Chains A and B, each alone.
Chain A
Amino acid sequence: MALHQTELRPLGKCVGRKEDPRFIRGKGRYVDDIMLPGMLYMYLVRSPYAHARIKSIDTSAALQAPGVKLVITGEDLEAMNLAWIPTMANDQQMVLATGKVLYQYQEVAAVIAETREQAVDAAQLIDIEYEPLPVVVDPFKALEPDAPILREDREKKSNHVFHWEAGDREATEELFRNAPVVVKKDVRFQRVHPAPLEPCGCIADYNPSTGKLTWYVTSQAPHAHRTVLAMVSGLPEHQIRVISPDVGGGFGNKVPIYPGYVAAVVASLKLGKPVKWIETRTENITSTGFARDYHMTCEIAAEEDGRVLALRVKTIADHGAFDAAADPSKFPAGLFSIVTGSYDFKEALVEVDGVYTNKAPGGVAYRCSFRVTEAAYLIERVMDVLARRVGVDPAELRKRNFIRKEQFPYKSPTGWTYDSGDYEKTLALALEKIGYEELRKEQAEKRARGEFMGIGISTFTEVVGAGPSHTFDIMGIKMFDSAQIRIHPTGKVIARLGVRHQGQGHETTFAQIIAEELGLSTDDVLIEEGDTDNAPYGLGTYASRSTPTAGGAAALCARRIRDKAKKIAAHLLEVGEEDVVWDGVSFSAKGLPGKSVTMKDVAFAAYTNLPEGMEPGLEATYYYDPPNLTFPHGAYIAVVDIDKGTGAVKVRRFLAVDDCGTVINPMIVDGQVHGGLTEGFAIAFMQDIPFDDEGNCLAPNWMDYLVPTALDTPHWETDRTVTPSPHHPIGAKGVGESPNVGSPAAFVNAVVDALAPLGVEHIDMPIFPWKVWQILREHGVTE
């Protein structure tokens, strides 16, 4: 049962979500719900070709069409110096194509009309002559010397974007040379897309009489978007107000600035009217930030008993036509070098090469914690390969290699300092709860009968909460975050934070943190996010950073208020400040039992009855720059049964034991875990965005790109261990992405474990039934 919102000391309790009444009644307010007087609609004309020169664009017929107010092409933007914009990864990307197109569905022209239908109809009248060019879809072919050069705008005449590495090359090579056991595996993390229920969209509303642009946009990072927009457009930043209303799912898809946003702003500036642009489902999947697309080769050097020595990883990263990955600027491959995971490798070398291809840009999205999904999947997958090679049970192999509790803070061979963890405890709980020994017995019996049952383990380590500003920035902006708390005379609180939730439950969890710190109930605290005119500056919600950063800011901001409140309490209690004691609910005076004041009493006094000389009011702002990242971890176990006739995999059980440090609201953590597991399940079994040789996207809709329904989704079991972060103000670590980071390896490990008697060591995701059926058929198991 959820705790009532009116109860005190809410931290760690299942408080009912404050935002749910509006969401579950369909009363959320999303960008497309906003209607402004005189609003116009924009539609984008997109390229059918993946690579083609634009010979001509004829917009004359479209301009004559009913209701059409404006048509914008790349040439028009060129005249405004807006044909290209910087990406978040030190690259640039086209807004509307000039010269040539580089991927299918690339934006070529924008039509603005009185209605959405008129804009769509007029777009069909734009006559564009293309000359198709050779298409490169395979990143390995893109690196061949005779490959066509895709990016003519770059000085470097090559499709190679960057090389990045971490770790000690020589020390790693040395360990590999002398290692008794070396396993090697090519592992692909396929291209997927977060496909949030609400696609991307905005309304640009420029008011010519005030010179102010109000930009309603479905954004995970409204403050950063305001700054980028100011820098790109030349509009003064204080004349831009970004409002991110309710966001219908983000998952990293709503971090970048998309061409449609810039085109809508240009249209509103030109026409002096509000312009709405909402993309379709196909536009969302085919042109906005995709996720993953890593081709990885992993080698582990180990002792005969399976104790690991060194790790070597080489990766080709397919970035598409522009490097628009939303990574911190010093990390072109995100936090991928966390790939040593939960294991005590002595040395490691991680290399990533980014490559351009004729595909849509992106790469960092879908609950990936900046590429930790790829890293965790790889190490957890290949640890199982090692277990098989050395003949050690995968659970036992993990135990032999875990970083021990007493090794924290642990310095990893690629340079991370893990804050805390207790991997053995988490795995022990998971093994006990799932009944591991019995399951292995059952599996042995089934194998003897020729049945295929598998158990898959993943004991991953996450790295979230970017970040300490000395290391982390996006386009130069340091990755701190902020909170501002105002207590009104009656003790009611409005708190605003620099992050922007998209379903994570901030309106409840942050209210719990603040209420806990101030001795109030969550009902007393209203959380507001997403309006840059009134919230303090912050970098936004992604990479599981809200609780580690803004959550820390909220706690410290409340403590700052409590310091002042203590002074007022001393005044009210008529004692010295040093004699005032805070017990979590009220201030009392030492040695004076029965005499106490609550935060509500203090709040009223802050406006009515202050000590002499004290500044009135009770509010504070706190910008929190965390000293380190946080390192949540977990032990996940999947149990699967395979249908011999069809190759269908049934996930019989799935247990997720997470350790995300201090838990603010167990119900919300469970909800986050359920959602992330469902996405991980989809990635493991259903999702892929393939292309044909001409660069046609073959999964541009929900008929070909699958999203699991309630019928597909297994039953999730969850549990937790709690190892608080030693540096976070309340010990919390973040959990939003752990289930997506940790679960794909558990699913794949389970399927491979089931097929191990056939000699199967690896299957690339997604594990469609036909892939399993082919393996069964090759081995004569089925006809």
Chain B
Amino acid sequence: MRTYQGDFVIDLPRSSVWAFITDPERVGPCIPDLLKLDVESETRFHAVVRVGVGPVRGKFKLSTELTVTEPEVSAELSIRGGGMGSGVDMKAKLTLSDTENGGTKLDWRCDAAISGPVASLGGRLIDNEAKKITEKMFNNLSKALSSVSEQVAATSEETAEPGLKE
């Protein structure tokens, strides 16, 4: 099991951020290297993404399910799938809180279990790749949210630095 986590701040009230991140139609396109998105319901969507870790390159099919733990505060995303003889099982937890100047802080933490040849490549490759993917994911998310707020939010770019922890 590997754990990745980070946080960033959005210049939008908590209710707007919540509405965005719980909408598969709007969150889905933020997935990096997305090839295909198929929204099944308000809480479930399927995605096909392009993956490249070291010598292993191909497509991953992922199924995502959203569970609200506390409305407007926290939600969990379970992501499971795989491809190319490899499997991935992730649980992402998102927590929102108000900032002093009316914005929203988004804390995220992701526990990932990876199996198959991709996992066998070892931490040195996976950690970097996972860091790249999560950075892209939350960069995309924060960009999309910024455009929603009709402001040019330079601050979100600066703080979108996902940390990395084993």
Contact = CB atoms under 8 A, between A and B. Distances in A.
Contacts of B58: 124
Contact of A697 (B84, B86, B113, B120): B120
B115 A282 contact: no
A104 B116 contact: yes
A546 B48 CA distance: 56
B31 interface: no
Contacts of B114: 694, 696
B116 to A, nearest CB: 3
B115 A46 contact: no
Counting chain B CB atoms within 10 Å of each CB, which of A45, A124, A693 scores highest?
A124
A701 B117 CA distance: 10
Interface in B77-127: 82-87, 89, 113-117, 119-120, 122
A132 interface: yes
Q: Which 10 A-B pairs have the closest CB atoms?
A: A48-B116, A696-B119, A48-B87, A48-B115, A700-B120, A48-B86, A49-B115, A694-B113, A48-B85, A697-B120
B51 to A, nearest CB: 13
B19 interface: no
Contacts of B89: 132
A698 interface: yes
Interface in A661-717: 692-701, 704
Interface in A274-290: 282, 286
A45 B85 contact: yes
B139 to A, nearest CB: 28
Contacts of A50: 115
B40 to A, nearest CB: 16
Given A124-B58, A282-B117, A704-B122, A694 B1 contact: yes
A61 to B, nearest CB: 13
A472 interface: no
Q: How large is the interface on A (under 10, 10 to 19, 20 to 34, 35 or more residues)?
A: 20 to 34
A582 interface: no
Nearest to A282: B117
Contact of B119 (A46, A124, A694, A701): A694
A282 B58 CA distance: 18
Contacts of B115: 48-50, 104, 132, 694-696
Contacts of B119: 48, 692, 694, 696
A371 B114 CA distance: 34
A48 B58 CA distance: 15
A52 to B, nearest CB: 8
Nearest to A45: B85
Given A45-B85, A124-B58, A693 B1 contact: yes
A142 B105 CA distance: 44
Contacts of A84: none
A30 interface: no
Contacts of A331: none
Interface in A1-55: 45-46, 48-50
A697 B86 CA distance: 12
Contacts of B85: 45-46, 48, 124
18 contacts: A48-B115, A48-B119, A49-B87, A49-B115, A50-B115, A124-B85, A130-B87, A132-B87, A132-B89, A286-B120, A693-B1, A694-B1, A694-B113, A694-B119, A695-B115, A696-B115, A696-B120, A698-B122
A698 B120 CA distance: 5
Contacts of B120: 282, 286, 696-701, 704
Contacts of B82: 48
A130 B86 CA distance: 11
Contact of B84 (A104, A124, A282, A696): A124
B65 to A, nearest CB: 15
Nearest to A130: B87
Interface string A49-77: 11000000000000000000000000000
A193 to B, nearest CB: 14
A697 B117 CA distance: 8
A48 B114 CA distance: 9
Nearest to A693: B1
Contacts of B1: 693-694
